[in-house]
Structure 1
Amino acid sequence: MSKVWRTLRQQAEQFAGWNPVLRWNVEYRVLEHDSLEAALAANLGLSLRHLGGDKLEAWLAALLRSEPAITIQSAADIDRFVKDDPSCVDHYVALSSCAGFQALQLYRISHMLWLNREHHNALMLKNWGAQVWSIDIHPGAQIGKGVVFRHGQGLVIDDGVVIEDDVTLWNAVSILRGPAGERKSPILKRGATVHAQSVVCGGVTVKKGITLPECTLFTESVADLSS
């Protein structure tokens, strides 16, 4: 049993003790499951229940079991959400109610489908995620582990974008491919941070650990941020 999974179960038990009225919800999200993969599927399925019901949850669970690397990335994500996002007071809150965390995990599944050339399924999940969380991540993007979406609403990540480990993106950030004819995509190096309402467009490489200010447009012609 992984450290993250043990922590999640302990925190879920604590939460159920504090709020017995919601114990059924805690059991559904965590306590009745035997792995992080199953709990992730249950939480994503619950958020998307109006779109697919129990069969959707079962499909997501099967996809997660088929690709163990996703769970490793998810464990790194949830640890960093708890460390860096004050709204995620613990692992249970991040898993069960943090829009940024859930949207990122759905992307990880859609990305796997995209790589397996199941493009219709990948884009369906991408579009459903955008409807539910207002976070639009193309499955053709490449996103590392330990990534945090602070608040997240309005975030857009385009096809071909590369985001390395431990990057933080705030709400209403747009990371976009360049215009037709160029079609270069941004690269965000490890530990970079992009603050709210900023746009990074085209062949920009954001340096390792750099922080971009809010409400700013970054393109090749405006700022050379390459390392």
Structure 2
Amino acid sequence: MSAQESNVVTLPVEDASRCEVAALWDALREEADAALHRDPALARAMSSAVLMHVSFGHALSHRLAIKLADHDVDRDELLALIYGAYTDKPGLLGAAAADLAAVKDRDPSNTEVLTPFLYFKGFSALQGYRVAHWLWTTGRRHLARHIQSRISEVFAIDIHPAAVMGRGIMLDHGGGLVIGETAVVEDEVSILQNVTLGGTGKETGDRHPKIRRGVLIGAGAKVLGNIEVGIGAKVGAGSVVVSPVAPYTSVVGIPARPVGRPHKALPGVTMDQALPEPEYMI
């Protein structure tokens, strides 16, 4: 919702992101310290992942570098590269903080920011993508492809570095997720596992879906072609979407068809996966 829509005065993006990151970092450190005191066996893990670092950017850079390093690009090289991305484009950290807060708010199995920061591959893959996208847009495309390949190998999530991803995104579980080169995923979207945002195999150029704000895409759904899934839409699990989806509409089936009446909420935020009863039964 924009400032005009909500009638709330908001901080400039840079200041808002800085405050968001600072608050997230304080919460992350508090949770790591509490975890250490509950179980001293986690002392080294909490120190290495969170407590030894001076900022969220340092901690996240270190975490991603450990996960994505290999024989070709080692941990120290990746650490410098990732922290360089955050220095050059601080908004990447604001996006990461928004993604982490989204997981805390939307995942009923999780009530903190520490667990997704440490263990959730959807969050880690998304932050790796953000670095790869930065590389892609600055002309370092082979290195961007290397990061994409490592994300796929480590997390089983394949996001093309040219795709455009917003803020406050949750990739729940994430395994088997594929997002194509010209796909767009806007803010506050939630996507479950085994989803494909792909082409039809017949087109070149701009050929992938455009997922608007607040959309929820259920597990196993396939959205194919240069089509728009409108703001607040809901795609049922296992559906195959090959036609545009109107805003605030639920679709289900193969091929996907609208069911029920339009709703008003943003299911990508509420995580309401229920679908209305169909208008007829056979």
| TM-score of the aligned structures, taking structure 1 as reference length | 0.94
Alpha-carbon distance, 1:74 to partner? 0.5
SS at match of 1:200: strand
Match of 2:219 in 1: 196
Q: Kindly tell me: are residues 50 and 121 of structure 1, through their superposed partners in 2, closer, same or farther at Cα, counting changes over 3 Å? A: closer
CA contact (8 A) 2:233 2:246 kept: no
Secondary structure of the corresponding residue to residue 175 of structure 1: strand
Aligned to 1:134: 156
Over the matched positions of the two proteins, sequence identity in percent amounts to 29
Preserved contact between residue 160 and residue 177 of structure 1 (Cα < 8 Å)? no
After superposition, where does 1:198-217 map in structure 2 within 5 Å?
198-217=221-240
Q: Secondary structure at the match of 2:201?
A: coil
Which of 192, 195, 198 is 1:173 aligned to? Answer: 195
Alignment correspondent of 2:79: 57
- Residue 34 of structure 1 deviates from its aligned partner by 1.2
User: Mapping of 1:139-154 within 5 angstroms?
Assistant: 139-154=161-176
Query: Counterpart in 2 of 1:115?
Result: 137
How many residues are paired up?
224
Bigger relative contact order (CA 8 A; separation at least 6):
1
Taking only aligned residues, the RMSD between alpha carbons, in angstroms, comes to 1.5
Q: Distance in 2 between matches of 1:12 and 1:73?
A: 21
- Give the structure 2 partner of residue 156 of structure 1: 178
Q: 2:70 matched to 1:47?
A: no
Q: How far apart, in 2, do the equivalents of 1:115 and 1:5 lie?
A: 28
Query: Could you tell me how far apart the structure 2 residues matched to 1:121 and 1:180 are?
Result: 28
Runs of 5+ unmatched residues, structure 2: 1-18, 248-282
Q: CA deviation at 1:63?
A: 2.0
Alignment of 1:84-123 (within 5 A): 84-123=106-145
- 1:49 & 1:161 partners in 2: Cα distance? 27
Deviation at 1:161, TM superposition (A): 0.2
What is the CA distance between 1:226 and its match in structure 2?
A: 4.3
2:135, 2:126 → 1: CA distance? 14
Deviations 1:17-54 (A, max 9, x none): 11211211111111111111111111112222445233
Distance 1:132 1:171 in 2: 15
Larger relative helix fraction: 1
CA contact (8 A) 1:122 1:139 kept: yes
Distance in 2 separating the partners of 1:226 and 1:187: 12
Aligned residues of 2:68 and 2:147 also touching (Cα < 8 A): no
| Deviation of the 1:86 alpha carbon | 2.9
Deviations 1:119-166 (A, max 9, x none): 101110000000000000000100000000010000000001000000
